Amino acid sequence: MSSLLHRFVPATEWLPAYQKKNFRGDLSAGLTTAVMLIPQGMAYAMLAGLDPIIGLYASVVPVLLYAVLGTSRQLAVGPVAMVSLLVASGVGAIAGDDPTAYLAAAVMLSLVVGGMQLLMGLARLGFLTSFLSHPVLSGFTSAAALIIGMSQLKHLLGVNIPRSHHVHHILLQAVERASEVNAITLGIGVVSIVLLVGLKKVSPKFPRALAVVVLGTLAVWGFGLHEKGVAIVGGVPAGLPMPSVPAFDFAVVRELIPTALTIALVGFMESIAVAQAFARRHKYEIDADQELIGLGVANLGGAFFSAYPVTGGFSRTAVNDQAGAVTPLASIITAVVIAITLLFLTPLFYFLPKAVLAAIIMTAVFGLIDVKEVKHLWKVDRADLVLLAITFFATLSFGIEQGILTGVGASIVWFTFQTTRPHLAVLGRLPGTRVWRNIKRNPDAVRAPGILAIRMDAPFFYGNTKYLKDALNSLIAENNGQLTAIIIDATALSRIDSSAVGALKELAEDYKRRNIRLYLAGIRGPVHDVIKRGHLDDLLPPDRFPLNVDAAVSEVLGDDWEGKKVDAA
């Protein structure tokens, strides 16, 4: 019973065994991360189309719940740019400009996302995220970073640009309204960006986001810049959010499901990638399914406290780790500090200019544009680079959800194409050895006379049976039909289905009529079991299943063949 409790509530394992020596690091990390999360949370809520205070609401209860249920010791959960943009995309299409309906839909989205992640975790479906390959995620993230950054242009310029998820629309609007730009707002934004970039280079651990928030707020308050057209946050309600049941509307939920599924998967992918990176660094294991449960409950619980969807973020986790986080107690301290801020410090945000929050978002997300990955894939795998490009341009052209769906679809199509046309190698024996290798990669390898030995590097299933048949026919034709045996090296056949067994039976019958012996060398036990159930053994006697290719060649030519080059045609 206790092991089951430890599995589903990890805090019951680490909290009773907590060591005092870890408290100093956890306290430092908790305070430092809170200082970073306060301005970030407000900025990302604004990016999501919500009041900045909602970002702080999303940084208390969800953070506490994840600290109790998550398996990462350093992961800092809270509002992130990617999820915020997805919220703006999905909720904006439903609620429009009605702030009450917008908040209700965002809270409902948190409930639906949490429910999906919890169910996925309980069903142990963490493997579903494998459909989001790294090139697809990289292309999606880079495009989304551009969209996120451009969406903040209106706050940076002080111009009312209509919401859009198409970068070219935003840029055209900005150019058309260039005469309306508020010079003071632009100046605040540019200075904030310069400070954020400069401070990062000079001192990466310095709380630069908090510094520009303080400076920007003091400048507006001291010089009365809000009276000169500079948009400010304004009145921020004090106090913790009161628990309330989200207003459930089946029609709204139905419309939110595509966005919720995207957030559930993308948010988890971002979170698990970060969690695993820091777990490897500190030499401990992450339970992917429990991470889904932790994030799911965090989002479910947050929905009852006016929060919008959250996940783990890279930059805050890095800060949390650098500041000394040893256990999830650091996250609990972060949540407590933000709760204290909500209770007593919200009046300090009244004069905070929105241009500063926009600058924080821009500098954070533009670092997500992954140029290095493009260069890497150009050298290593250009097919993956094509997938990255498809996802990138689809996201920019069609929108967030459509972009990632296009990328996943392209990945599946490419995977299907590869598996239906797998790598096929003609084998020869390396001189002086009993080892058989691809003759194209090993020119010294010698083919056995009258024998065609091949290896197919893929599972054998209905999708590639025709390809194998056609390839064998072409190779037989190249040998002018002068073959006594065909050997299929089955060591790479990890799986076989009924269609493939049927295809092998057809080949065996055809070759029997043509006096060609068919051998399946090095076949694996589970694959052989399927072959037996398909009655292929009725056509091929036991000696047609040798241990390896060399044994099959010895069966045909005898042990006297020395592997010398002869005319195999």
Q: pLDDT digit string (tens) for 36-49?
A: 788 889 989 998 99
More confident residue, 367 or 151: 151
Look over the chain and give the mean of its residue pLDDT values, rounded to a whole number. 88
CA dihedral for 6, 11, 14, 15, sign (positive or negative): negative
Percent of the chain at pLDDT > 70 equals 96
User: Phi then psi for 152, rounded to 5 degrees?
Assistant: -95, 0
Q: Which CATH superfamily is domain 424-557 in?
A: STAS domain (3.30.750.24)
Paired sense of beta strands 436-438 and 424-429, if any:
antiparallel
Q: Residues 555, 543: contact at Cβ < 8 Å?
A: yes
* Dihedral Cα 512, 516, 521, 523, nearest 10 deg: -20
pLDDT digits (tens, 9 = 90+) for 97-133: 789 999 999 999 999 999 999 999 999 887 766 666 7
Domain ranges of the chain: 2-410, 424-557
Q: Residues 296, 66: contact at Cβ < 8 Å?
A: no
Q: Note the pLDDT of residue 348.
A: 87
Residue the block writes with tokens 């269609």 = 499
pLDDT bin (cut points 50, 70, 90) of residue 569 is: very low
How many of the other CB atoms lie within 10 Å of CB of 110? 29
Q: DSSP for 174-234? A: HHHTGGG--HHHHHHHHHHHHHHHHHHHH-TTS-HHHHHHHHHHHHHHHHTGGGGT--B--
Here the tokens at position 512 are 């029997």
Give helix then strand counts, H and E, for the chain. Answer: 24, 7
pLDDT over 90 (residue 270) = no
Q: Note the pLDDT of residue 129.
A: 65
